[in-house]
Structure 1
Amino acid sequence: MDITVLGCGVIGLTTALRLTEDGHRVTIRTWKVPPETTSDKAAAFWSPYRITEDGQTFAWIAETYRTLAEFSRIPGSGVSMVPLRKFLKDGRDTSDNWWLKAIPGEHYTSLNNGELPPGYTAGWKAEVPLMETPLYLPFLMDRFRAGGGRTGGGRIITGEKVTTLSAFSGSLVVNCTGLGSRDLCGDEALLPVRGQIAVTGPLPLDGIYVDADTPIYLVPRADGCIIGGTYERDNWEDTPEPETINEIVQRAKALTPDLTTGPAIRSYAGLRPYRPSVRLEADPAQPGLIHHYGHGGAGFTVSWGAATSVAALVRSLDRIS
């Protein structure tokens, strides 16, 4: 089947690649490609972040974990398995640990008091996939162009700004335009959530450090340490604020009091496509149109599981037609 995927962030790329693995002929049409997408600005480690907790989400994150763990064994994928430490100031609040059981073999442990930064009362440590976006997104693009090992190769057509979905009637289309779907679909439930992050030089960290109660985290990568962040609902400004960036760096020091971070050498502001629930469904008004957007800050974490749900939906539509 010929399929068009709109959008080339992590959701569009993963969905397109998953569909090629089912033997479909897939073309991505997009305005921007990596390294110019919102996904390129992400810290991109596996950890469900402000996404609905339900059976479907759990299945998505579990499948994504398994797939990324397999990628971590492929040289050049940009995926590695690293320790993640999440800290809580209120140890009685266990609402943040539902995702831990998605880790195969339940490879996670509680942290003891001696392993907690000052001011924190509980925490967990788990091994999770980290996706270094300058490597991982091109890795996905290369696999897509190679056809996922099953087809003649996918195509990417760039520089096209989609202004209407009606232009694609008569063909099967998967809409992965993220925040662009607010205007394309008139979906007022879809809002930007701005996240500002700083990048310092490489730091001697032995894994990812996260404050479970705030958007603050430290993510060591080859190109520097990613320090986040903010969670600013309905903020469309994509330029970072120097004062906020400095504040983020200072607040992150509470997670590793003995570590000197140094000043930010780069900073970004990304607009997460937040929706109260992910929209993954066939459009009731336009046959052959599937929507797949609204993943907020959990796009990388649900990407492969959600893409499998899209593939299943495509198969069901194919049987009906």
Structure 2
Amino acid sequence: MAAPKVAVVGAGLVGLSTALCISEAFPSCPLSVLAEQFSPNTTGDVAAGMLIPHTYPGTPIHVQKQWFKETFAYLFAISNSAEASEAGIHLVSGWQVFKTPPKDEVPFWSDVVLGFRPMSAAELQKFPQHRWGQAFTTLKCDCPPYLLWLERRLRANGVQLRTSKVADLWELRSEYDVVVNCTGVGAQQLVGDRELLPTRGQVLQVHAPWLKHFIRDGDGSTYIYPGIHSVTLGGSREKGSWSLSPDPATTRDIFSRCCSLEPSLQRAEGVRVKVGLRPSRSAVRLQREVLSRGGAELPVVHNYGHGAGGFSVHRGTAKEATRLVGECIAALRGSSCRAKL
């Protein structure tokens, strides 16, 4: 049997990283990425790109920790390479502050990030509204450069990147043997996933080069994340909203909240507003499925529903999706062998 042809549908963070994993694991399989939108027009281009996990209620903690460990190790290696600047990845230290200590003072990811510890009294003096906090070093990813870096790696591996609107996964069966669904919030319509909902997120990017440490309010959705070229201020979480239009009232609210954490932001310049739709569900959908019509079959692997925490787990879930693709390829080869008997 010829090497199975694989299509990854979706070219956001999850789609590109899944395609890269597949191309590394199965270099002999022809691979294409099909998407209606590529960077800079994906949800990943809007993401803040901080590796601080969000919890998925429907996914076991040990699984979430494994995904995070694999992602952190992968990006940490890039941050220590000559490609760090091109990929937009760097280490950043900072604080997560709380008005009262959280129930989980030592989160499940504390031994994955670097130097995790409770904040000292001297550090907390900077945050008079907060009584407790955590200090640690983690990774920050400037998203548009990282997505372009992934695209370059894919092309170097011989992967085809094609602009194409896929309305039905079954239509790909005539050309591909395995399909990987990484369509994010688009999966609601594409595969009829009613559990999947958009969570609208609005962020600001400002020029404030004096800020070197991240600050995150552990009680809410306020954060200040310094990147290589700009500082990301967030954020908002509006479940069920499909609007991609910036909201001036939300912009004022985000800026006000961030200035209360870091008053020097009043001097920030060049405010740009970005909006994205996070694909939210109780658990990431990582699953094999076989579509069948009229006696014909199409193996599909789903990898979507990462919500607000996609950057923290994207490489780990890509590796798991690649393992499932391997199972599909093995099943195809097994059925091909049986057909020859």
TM-score by length of 1: 0.92
2:117 aligned to which of 109, 113, 121: 109
Indicate conservation of the 8 Å contact 2:258/2:265, yes or no.
no
1:259 deviates by 4.5
Between stretches 292-301 and 309-318, larger displacement belongs to 309-318
Between stretches 46-55 and 174-183, larger displacement belongs to 46-55
User: Which stretches of structure 1, 4 residues or more, deviate above 4 A after TM superposition?
Assistant: none
Indicate conservation of the 8 Å contact 2:9/2:35, yes or no.
yes
Question: Is 1:242 matched with 2:253?
Answer: no
Change (3 A) 1:222 1:26: same
Indicate conservation of the 8 Å contact 1:249/1:261, yes or no.
no
Task: Determine helix, strand or coil for the equivalent of 1:199.
Answer: strand
Between stretches 39-48 and 254-263, larger displacement belongs to 254-263
Tell me the number of residue pairs that the alignment of Structure 1 and Structure 2 aligns.
313
Question: Is 1:37 matched with 2:47?
Answer: no
Question: Is 1:27 matched with 2:27?
Answer: no
1:264 deviates by 5.7
Question: Is 1:130 matched with 2:140?
Answer: yes
* Sequence identity percentage: 30
Q: Give the aligned partner of residue 316 of structure 1.
A: 327
Name the larger-Rg structure: 2
Indicate conservation of the 8 Å contact 2:170/2:291, yes or no.
no
Q: CA RMSD in A?
A: 1.7
Cα separation, 2, equivalents of 1:206 and 1:263? 16
Q: Give the aligned partner of residue 68 of structure 1.
A: 75
Indicate conservation of the 8 Å contact 2:71/2:315, yes or no.
yes
Q: Give the aligned partner of residue 269 of structure 1.
A: 275
Q: Give the aligned partner of residue 337 of structure 2.
A: none
Between stretches 295-304 and 285-294, larger displacement belongs to 285-294
Cα separation, 2, equivalents of 1:229 and 1:271? 12
2:108 aligned to which of 98, 106, 111: 98
Residues 30-53 of structure 1 show CA distances to partners (whole Å, capped at 9, x for unaligned) of: 001111111101111111124345
1:99 deviates by 1.9
TM alignment of 1:286-305, pairs within 5 A: 286=292, 287-305=298-316
Indicate conservation of the 8 Å contact 2:291/2:299, yes or no.
no
Question: Is 1:307 matched with 2:318?
Answer: yes
Cα separation, 2, equivalents of 1:13 and 1:206? 29
Cα separation, 1, equivalents of 2:72 and 2:13? 15
Change (3 A) 1:292 1:60: same
Letter aligned with residue 169 of structure 2: L
Give unmatched runs, 5+ long, in structure 2.
293-297, 333-341
Cα separation, 1, equivalents of 2:260 and 2:106? 20
1:258 deviates by 4.6
Indicate conservation of the 8 Å contact 1:58/1:99, yes or no.
yes
Q: Give the aligned partner of residue 263 of structure 2.
A: 257
Change (3 A) 1:306 1:92: closer
Cα separation, 1, equivalents of 2:94 and 2:161? 34
Cα separation, 2, equivalents of 1:130 and 1:51? 21
Q: Give the aligned partner of residue 150 of structure 1.
A: none
Letter aligned with residue 303 of structure 2: H
Give unmatched runs, 5+ long, in structure 1.
148-152
Question: Is 1:280 matched with 2:286?
Answer: yes
TM-score by length of 2: 0.87
1:107 deviates by 2.4
Indicate conservation of the 8 Å contact 1:228/1:248, yes or no.
yes
1:198 deviates by 1.1
TM alignment of 1:61-210, pairs within 5 A: 61-74=68-81, 75=83, 76-94=86-104, 97-103=107-113, 107-116=115-124, 117-147=127-157, 153-158=158-163, 160-169=164-173, 171-210=177-216
Q: Give the aligned partner of residue 233 of structure 2.
A: 227
Cα separation, 1, equivalents of 2:88 and 2:187? 29
Change (3 A) 1:32 1:256: same
Question: Is 1:17 matched with 2:20?
Answer: yes
Indicate conservation of the 8 Å contact 1:203/1:261, yes or no.
no
1:95 deviates by 6.1
Q: Give the aligned partner of residue 6 of structure 1.
A: 9
